[in-house]
Structure 1
Amino acid sequence: CQRIGKIPGIGPVTASALIATIGKANNFENGRQLAAWLGLVPRQHSSGGKQVLLGISKRGDTYLRTLLIHGARAVLQSAKHKQDAVSSWANQLMARRNNNIASVALANKNARTVWALLAKEREYCAPIISA
């Protein structure tokens, strides 16, 4: 719980809800499967060789998805005034996309990071940006 609570956008409530709901991270093969289970990936409609990506699939636990997205929104709001690696990535993303898409993208990234920390039993290290 403390391990994933260090991720920006994930507080104690989100961390405990994730651990209680997910259980073992090894139930998922990779972080994308966890993100898909939470409904944080694009819904796909393909026919005749054409792929159409729509909004998020909204499958899985609504409460967890909401917690992750709200935490991501808080990070995006504070990213405007920071210069760390996550904030610079978020600012570049917000320059290209609207805030809702950016918050879902960060929530997706956080879900994948949670899987990596739980599955590999590692501590969170904030990414370093070169000046």
Structure 2
Amino acid sequence: MSEVTTIGLDIAKSVFHAHGADERGAMVFSRKLTRGKLLEFFAGQPRCTVALEACGGAHHWARELQAMGHEVRLIPPAYVKPFVKRHKNDAIDAEAICEAAQRPGMRFVAVKSEEQQAAGLVFRTRDLVCASELSSSTRSGVT
């Protein structure tokens, strides 16, 4: 059996899907994982590249996987979409993430720390409040 070099991980609320590939891109495994078993599964894997679609939750899992020694790459969802070959489901998404991560020209998103994510939340909230206040003052005729 070939050794896994890249794992594409499609994350969801409770059930995740992992797609492992070797250095040539050939599938080594495709597994459904529950949230509770995810870290246990990755603890049993050789150190490799793990790719996820970038989102708020992906940064949390990326930090956990990096702490285990894996190299984590976050890919913007728009860059994964062209690699989805047929009808969308978790297994196909995980395969597309894995394939996209193995492309030489792919661009990745930096993994954010908890502090960076919290600061981003504060900035977005502030922007929403300011936009809301501006919108309501414009509607009431106040300038």
- Normalized against structure 1, the TM-score is what? 0.23
Q: Please identify which structure carries the higher strand content.
A: 2
